[in-house]
Amino acid sequence: MIRAVALCLALLPGVAAAQEAVSRPGGDLRVLDKVTGALTDLPIRIGLPQSIGALTITMNDCRVPVDNPDGDAFAELLVTYRDDPAPVFSGWMIASAPALNAMDHPRYDVWVMDCTS
């Protein structure tokens, strides 16, 4: 048991280094309108809200791994519907696993595709 704990503690610095990420100034999102079937790729900049259909999307941060900048992107998004101040989504999305923290909306789906520089 003590050996297992010692091994975990020895590996922690490596795990922390693997999780380091760098922020990018913007990103690419994909938006699906489930009613019309329209699929739209949306370039977005950090802090600048973009409207598409009845959604307003604000990207607060977009990060990629330091050791693999072309790798898995993850972004913090705030998504509102029409003029309702309560967000339909607020949180982090991971490009390779959007279902981990998906936006639950009857009409729209939003996915993070990549961070851009």
Residue 88 has pLDDT above 50, yes or no: yes
Can you tell me the mean pLDDT for 58-76?
89
Please check the confidence at residue 38 and state whether its pLDDT lies above 60: yes
Decide: 79 and 57 in contact? Cβ < 8 Å.
Answer: yes
Flag whether pLDDT at 4 surpasses 50: no
CA-to-CA dists, residue 64 to 38, 71, 92, 102, angstroms: 28, 7, 13, 19
Can you tell me the mean pLDDT for 93-117? 92
> Residue 61, class by beta-carbon neighbours within 10 Å (0-12 exposed, 13-18 middle, 19+ buried)?
middle
- Going 64 to 68 to 70 to 73, the CA torsion angle's sign is negative
Q: Say whether pLDDT at 93 is over 90.
A: yes
**pLDDT confidence of residue 19:** 66
